[in-house]
């Protein structure tokens, strides 16, 4: 489910992939308005399923795993901690509880605030299935390509 949720650089919020158009993606806002807009090739679009957080052991943890950790620690409802109003120390303490081995040199507080904001957006919209239970193939994605 999280692979179909997109972040578009320069546009606030998150977007759900609806379909692919000619040289664009048709996306819908993940909020109560459900406004549909095109995202063109010039827009920097990234799937939340492709985002990772750096860790101290020179590895990375997927954003879905971080969301799942937040869900296990705080439940599957929006957090009381406001990403915009919370102090830097509160954000760091929260993130240290959720992902204790995050790389303190490469993960910025602004990144942590964005993760919190995204979690609140997703849970407010009822999206709480962050880690998929195996590979799913949908009609939109089509079958896997054949090997040559």
What does the block give as tokens for 148?
């040559």
What pLDDT, on the 0 to 100 scale, is given for residue 128?
82
What pLDDT, on the 0 to 100 scale, is given for residue 132?
67
Q: Which residue is associated with the tokens 């959720």?
A: 98
- Assigned CATH for 2-48: 2.30.30.730
Distance CA 33, CA 30 (A): 8
- Section 98-123 average pLDDT: 92
Q: 51-124: same fold as 2-48?
A: no
DSSP state of 4: G
Partners of residue 53 on adjacent β-strands? 61
Please report which confidence band the pLDDT of residue 129 belongs to, taking 50, 70 and 90 as the band edges: confident
Each residue's pLDDT tens digit, 78-99: 888 888 999 999 999 999 999 9
Distance CA 139, CA 97 (A): 38
Distance CA 65, CA 6 (A): 17
What pLDDT, on the 0 to 100 scale, is given for residue 108?
94
Cα separation of the two ends of the chain:
30
CB of 71 closer than 8 Å to CB of 128:
yes
What pLDDT, on the 0 to 100 scale, is given for residue 115?
92
The CATH number for 51-124, chosen from 1.20.58.340, 1.10.10.1650, 3.90.1150.10, 1.10.287.70, is 1.10.10.1650
Each residue's pLDDT tens digit, 9-65: 888 889 999 998 888 899 999 988 889 988 887 888 999 989 999 999 888 999 999
Please report which confidence band the pLDDT of residue 112 belongs to, taking 50, 70 and 90 as the band edges: very high
Partners of residue 16 on adjacent β-strands? 5, 28
């Amino acid at each position: 489910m999280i692979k179909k949720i997109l972040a578009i650089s320069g546009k606030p919020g998150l977007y759900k992939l609806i379909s692919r158009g000619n040289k664009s993606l048709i996306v819908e806002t993940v909020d109560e308005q459900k406004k549909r807009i095109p995202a063109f090739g010039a827009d920097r679009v990234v799937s939340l399923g492709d985002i990772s957080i750096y860790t101290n052991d020179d590895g990375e943890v997927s954003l879905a795993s971080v969301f799942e950790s937040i869900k296990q620690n705080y439940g599957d409802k929006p957090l009381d901690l406001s990403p915009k109003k919370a102090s830097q120390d509160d954000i760091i303490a929260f993130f240290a509880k959720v992902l204790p081995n995050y790389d303190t040199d490469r993960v910025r507080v602004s990144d942590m605030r964005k993760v919190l904001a995204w979690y609140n957006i997703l849970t407010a919209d009822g999206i709480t299935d962050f880690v998929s239970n195996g590979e799913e193939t949908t009609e939109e994605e089509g079958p896997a390509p054949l090997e040559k």
